[in-house]
Amino acid sequence: MKFEGNRYRGEQQILDVLKEKMKFTEDVSGETFRKKCEQRLFTQQSMPWKEIKRRAATRANQTRLKTAGELGRRMLTGDGFAGTLVRRILFAVHQASISEQARDGLNWLRTEVTDYWAAREKIINVLDFLAALDRVSGMAHWQKDAHAAGILAGAVRNDHV
């Protein structure tokens, strides 16, 4: 997660990661893309048309953003994603969602985020982003956690020394 100046470009960062992991490409005109699609769709010598249509409809949509609840306590320690502010925020959303109390998520953030007060604006921006996910097409699985993120964002906004 990168904040440049006072800007957070979440969509671009997600696109960059998907491209890096070879899960997204803009070049769909070449022979390589056609071969990649054929390789993923046609895994048998002969297949019914119904199966080909089903694979084409589902295989392209296998990657999705896991909810805070799906991540749960996993990846809270270690290197990489585990050490990021986003992971700590996602766990705080999970805590608030389970208990239905924003205070639980807020207490976790205050305890676990190094220099919480300096990171507070970034935390609010990420929580606002997560809260908006329930309004994005195809993100219905985020409804409960998005609601918790919105409430937690309000609690962090109103948090004072």
Burial 31-47 (b: 16+ CB within 10 A, else e): eeeeeeeeeebeeeeee
Would you write out the chain's pLDDT as a tens digit for each of its 161 residues? 566 666 666 777 787 777 777 667 777 677 877 787 777 777 777 778 777 777 666 554 556 678 888 888 887 787 777 888 888 999 999 999 999 999 999 999 999 998 999 999 999 999 999 999 888 877 888 899 999 999 999 999 999 87
Residue 104: what residue type? D
Do the beta carbons of residue 134 and residue 146 sit within 8 Å?
yes
Q: Provide the whole-model pTM.
A: 0.62
Q: Whole-angstrom Cα distance, residue 39 to residue 105?
A: 44
Do the beta carbons of residue 71 and residue 90 sit within 8 Å?
yes
Do the beta carbons of residue 18 and residue 60 sit within 8 Å?
no
In the numeric block, the tokens 């997560």 are attached to: 130
Do the beta carbons of residue 81 and residue 87 sit within 8 Å?
yes
Domain ranges of the chain: 10-59, 66-157
